């Protein structure tokens, strides 16, 4: 049997890898290949933090493959050209991959498929990144869902396929001669200057790290998920998002692990904590389905009327920089932005508050926020990023109503009532009494002096007044009413 090439992309795992399992069942040698092809990603090539994670993940994958007597062929260049060359060199009869659903990735798959089929190579994609294929989940009119609740209700009626097992002897007989391969370090994915966010954030990229994270969450964190997931000062989330993004673990594996805890034999767990977590997996699914059906939304509002939104003028990008650097004067916002800079991640509740602040308090376009998150998040995912920012701006599917403007002080007091989160990431405010922590400008001068907090010197005063910013935002949104529907 001729060799089969497995083109690995965002599926950097061995288990529950449909393309890899199909190649192994085919019977011949299996050659895993990763190609660094940022131009093939289109306008949204991976950002700095994502590239750093990718480096560590590839190193982990290479080690896992060598443990099984295989190896990872690493290449750089145009994917179709590289795969054609490898197929010719190896005499490969098949090239398999797992489908991706971002616009650039889908176009690239078409180019690869056409190039390989011209050479008589069996070229096939498989579903391994999502629970369901986007074209298979449609509403009664045959179109895509644009509201989460009916989308998820529909999905819950569908059987989730189980994770795909890796066959015994998965990598088959050895190839006679392995192709030349770059080292992972040759891809120059790590930052040339500054801090690598991966060790700084305490992350453990790779399939083994993802499996440990899932086991730990299911064994402990899941029991408290419903009450702790919105509390940024607690370890209340699964922290699986970067592992899911890079395919170090698949959503069907997460689904199966959570379902295994439930005594319910039906489609969905009765355990409310499990149901809440799986609903978050559903939001990830929804985001990818939306992006598949509306491929222009990373840069264009789903609701066309929002293209006329009156964004504020930000001379010299001073306000944007203050937001990016965690210098807005609102502690919960600044804590989130500093957590992002330090660890490459931000708690989801704080992401919503920080995003709302940018687009509604500062009235700076959501595109600037999406680009910043894309470059700084280790879990930067085009579908999730697009859904989140368009939701915050009020211009996307299932968007927050225009009058929903997060009050940063109230959000901080509600979700970080003891101030643990703010004290960790904005340590200069640490000595303040908790009742003033989320609004330090309300503290008497004597309290500020006793805590060693200098407003305007050690910590900035608010760059905008909440009441005035809210009123301006409401006025801007009202000017669009009647012209914002998809």
Examine the residue annotation and report whether 283 is marked as an active-site residue of this protein. yes
Q: How many Å apart are CA 380 and CA 344, to the nearest integer?
A: 9
Which one-letter DSSP state was computed for residue 455?
Answer: B
Which one-letter DSSP state was computed for residue 444?
Answer: -
Task: Give helix 251-259 / helix 272-293 axis angle, nearest 10°.
Answer: 160
CB contact at 8 A, 238 and 217: yes
Phi, psi of 117 (to 5 degrees): -65, -30
The candidate with the shortest Cα–Cα distance to 362, out of 399, 390, 321, is 321
Q: Show the 3-state SS of 128-165.
A: CCCCCCHHHCCCCCCCCCCCHHHHHHHHCCCCCCCCCC
Examine the residue annotation and report whether 348 is marked as an active-site residue of this protein. yes
Examine the residue annotation and report whether 17 is marked as an active-site residue of this protein. no
Examine the residue annotation and report whether 325 is marked as an active-site residue of this protein. no
Give me the catalytic one of 41, 113, 152, 283: 283
Encoding tokens for residue 108? 């690239």
Instruction: Write the DSSP string, 238-284.
Output: ---HHHHHTTSS-HHHHHHHHHTT----SSS-S-HHHHHHHHHHHHH
Encoding tokens for residue 234? 């607690």
Give me the catalytic one of 97, 345, 389, 391: 389
Q: How many Å apart are CA 387 and CA 157, to the nearest integer?
A: 24
Give me the catalytic one of 280, 342, 428, 441: 280
Encoding tokens for residue 397? 């599917």
CA 126 to chain centre: 21
Give me the catalytic one of 113, 152, 311, 375: 311
What percent of the chain is helix, strand and coil (3-state, nearest 5)?
Answer: 50, 5, 45
- Helical segments of 260-381, H only: 272-293, 318-324, 331-343, 348-356, 366-376
Question: Backbone dihedral region of 72: left (phi > 0), alpha (psi from -120 to 50 degrees) or beta?
Answer: beta
The candidate with the shortest Cα–Cα distance to 243, out of 479, 61, 423, is 61
Give me the catalytic one of 36, 203, 323, 366: 366
Give me the catalytic one of 348, 375, 428, 441: 348
**Adjacency order of strands within the sheet including 94-98:** 73-76, 30-36, 4-8, 94-98, 122-126
Q: Any idea which residues carry the catalytic annotation? A: 280, 283, 311, 348, 366, 389
């Amino acid at each position: 049997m001729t060799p089969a090439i497995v083109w690995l992309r965002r599926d950097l795992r061995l288990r529950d890898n449909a393309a890899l399992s199909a190649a192994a069942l085919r019977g011949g040698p299996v050659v895993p290949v990763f190609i660094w092809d940022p131009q093939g990603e289109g306008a949204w090539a991976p950002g700095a933090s994502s590239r750093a994670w990718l480096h560590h993940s590839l190193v982990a994958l290479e080690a896992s493959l060598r443990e099984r007597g295989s190896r990872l062929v690493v290449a750089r260049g145009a994917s179709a050209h590289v795969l054609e060359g490898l197929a010719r060199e190896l005499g490969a009869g098949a090239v398999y991959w797992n489908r991706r659903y971002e616009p650039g990735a889908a176009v690239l798959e078409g180019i690869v498929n056409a190039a390989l089929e011209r050479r008589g190579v069996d070229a096939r994609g498989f579903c391994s990144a999502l629970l369901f294929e986007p074209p298979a989940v449609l509403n009664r009119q045959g179109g895509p869902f644009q509201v989460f609740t009916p989308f998820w209700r529909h999905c819950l009626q569908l059987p989730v396929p189980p994770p795909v097992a890796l066959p015994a002897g998965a990598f088959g007989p050895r190839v006679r001669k392995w192709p030349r391969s770059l080292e992972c370090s040759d891809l120059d994915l790590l930052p040339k200057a500054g801090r690598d966010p991966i060790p700084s954030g305490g992350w453990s990229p790779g399939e083994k790290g993802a499996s440990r994270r899932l086991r730990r969450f299911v064994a402990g964190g899941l029991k408290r998920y419903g009450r702790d997931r919105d509390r940024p000062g607690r370890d209340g989330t699964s922290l699986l998002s970067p592992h899911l993004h890079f395919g170090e673990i698949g959503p069907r594996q997460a689904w199966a692990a959570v379902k295994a805890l439930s005594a319910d034999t039906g489609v969905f767990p009765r355990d409310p904590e499990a149901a809440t977590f799986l609903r978050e997996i559903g939001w990830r699914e929804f985001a990818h389905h939306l992006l598949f059906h509306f491929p222009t939304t990373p840069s264009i509002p789903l609701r066309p009327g929002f293209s006329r939104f009156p964004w504020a003028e930000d001379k010299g990008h001073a306000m944007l920089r203050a937001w990016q650097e965690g210098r807005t004067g609102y502690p919960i916002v600044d804590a989130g932005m500093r957590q992002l800079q330090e660890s490459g991640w931000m708690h989801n509740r704080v992401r919503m508050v920080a995003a709302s602040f940018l687009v509604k308090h500062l009235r700076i376009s959501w595109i600037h926020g999406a680009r910043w998150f894309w470059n700084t998040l280790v879990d930067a995912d085009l579908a999730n990023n697009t859904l989140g920012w368009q939701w915050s701006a009020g211009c996307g599917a299932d968007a927050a109503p225009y009058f929903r403007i997060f009050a940063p002080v109230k959000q901080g007091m509600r979700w970080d009532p003891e101030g643990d989160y703010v004290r960790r990431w904005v340590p200069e405010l640490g000595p303040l009494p908790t009742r003033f922590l989320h609004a330090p400008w309300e503290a008497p001068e004597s309290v500020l002096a006793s805590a060693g907090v200098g407003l305007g010197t050690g910590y900035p005063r608010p760059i905008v007044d909440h009441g005035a910013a809210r009123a301006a935002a409401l006025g801007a949104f009202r000017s669009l009413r009647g012209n914002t529907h998809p």
